[in-house]
Amino acid sequence: MKAIKALLILVLIIGAVLGGALFFTKNSSSEFAALIDQLNPLVQESVLYVKTTEAESINGYGTATYSQTGAKANGNTRPISFTADHELKRDHYLELSTKGGHVNTYNEVPRDKVPVAAREALN
């Protein structure tokens, strides 16, 4: 009986931690939030669209860091940070494959492939 009670308490604690992490990282673009989102099984993968701007910083190896507002297909926005191995062309659209604040991949897409609601939110 004690083992079942301990197991139930452990499951509740893990659920509370994962749920709290989901709430804590919801609209955060920090590296810590991206790491938590990447590991949290409750965070869903999704697609965000961004319109590229000037890089926030470029290190000595040419890696560019961007912090922008991303939009989902329905027009909902969230802050997102990502890096590229080179400086990206400005005012081009990217489709980001994300899991919360963690960017898995990005691909340049033509303007007409970006959903209208997302385009309106980005302009």
At 43-79, the pLDDT tens digits run: 788 899 999 999 999 898 989 999 999 999 999 998 9
Contacts of 90 (CB under 8 A, 6+ apart): 52, 53, 54
Cα–Cα nearest to 17, from 27, 25, 7: 25
- pLDDT confidence tier of residue 100, bands split at 50, 70 and 90: confident
> Residue 21: what pLDDT?
61
Domain count, the chain: 1
Instruction: Tell whether the model's pLDDT for residue 96 goes beyond 90.
Output: yes
User: Which residues form the domain of 97?
Assistant: 2-122
Distance CA 9, CA 82 (A): 37
What are the residues facing 46 on neighbouring strands?
98
Do the Cβ atoms of 80 and 69 come closer than 8 Å?
Answer: yes
> Residue 25: what pLDDT?
62
Contacts of 50 (CB under 8 A, 6+ apart): 66, 68, 69, 70, 71, 80, 93, 94, 96, 122
Contacts of 36 (CB under 8 A, 6+ apart): 21, 24, 25, 100
Query: What CATH number is given to the structural domain containing 56?
Result: 2.40.50.480
Residue ranges of alpha helices (H) inside the chain are: 2-24, 31-39, 116-122
Mean pLDDT confidence for 90-98: 93
Alpha-carbon Rg of the chain, whole angstroms? 18
